[in-house]
Amino acid sequence: MNHFALTIVGRDRPGIVSQVTEILFNLGCNLADSSCSILGGQFAMILILGHPEFTSLESFGDAFKPLEETDLTVALRVLKPGGETRSQIEGDLCMISVYGADKPGIVYRVAKILGDKQVNITDLNTKLVGTEERPVYVMVIEACLPEGAEENDVNNWLAPIRDELQIDITVRTIPTVEL
């Protein structure tokens, strides 16, 4: 199976996911992994997909032209073999929630500390909620802890910026469930 990364971005509207997945289904593609979100009124989607026969971008022909005609930006790239269907991430998972007044540097400061401590951020989402007069910045991070690190360690690492930036940070580990 050959694998590809497909990225689609454009003004949000109902039906984008349906339109994209119909094209992929009709091509005979298999979706291995996906993420979709609305970011500031823009719909963003990234898919890892496989196809048993397609080997190049040219194999897809003009299949994505209908998406581009609706003002969606489509980017497709061929992936090198290995690791495209399942992440090989080792370590305990944790969720880190950050809430505070909107200000520059929150994402960078938290990500910098986590990166310096070898914490692998596997998912990160941010939203601005609240009112226009009282905006609240919300960030939720799923992360994989390095060997030997625990929830209390992450709390201690983030404590200095919790106080400095006057933000609430909650860290909780996610129990691993095997089926």
Same fold yes or no, 2-78 and 93-174: yes
Give the mean pLDDT of the chain.
91
For the segment 78-114, what is each residue's pLDDT rounded down to a tens digit? Answer: 998 765 555 667 788 999 999 999 889 999 999 999 9
For the segment 127-164, what is each residue's pLDDT rounded down to a tens digit? Answer: 989 888 888 999 999 999 999 999 999 999 999 999 99
What residue segments make up the domains of the chain, in order of their start?
A: 2-78, 93-174
pTM > 0.85: yes or no: no
**Of residues 118, 136, 116, 117, the one with CA closest to residue 126:** 136
- The CATH class, in words, for 93-174 is alpha beta
- The CATH class, in words, for 2-78 is alpha beta
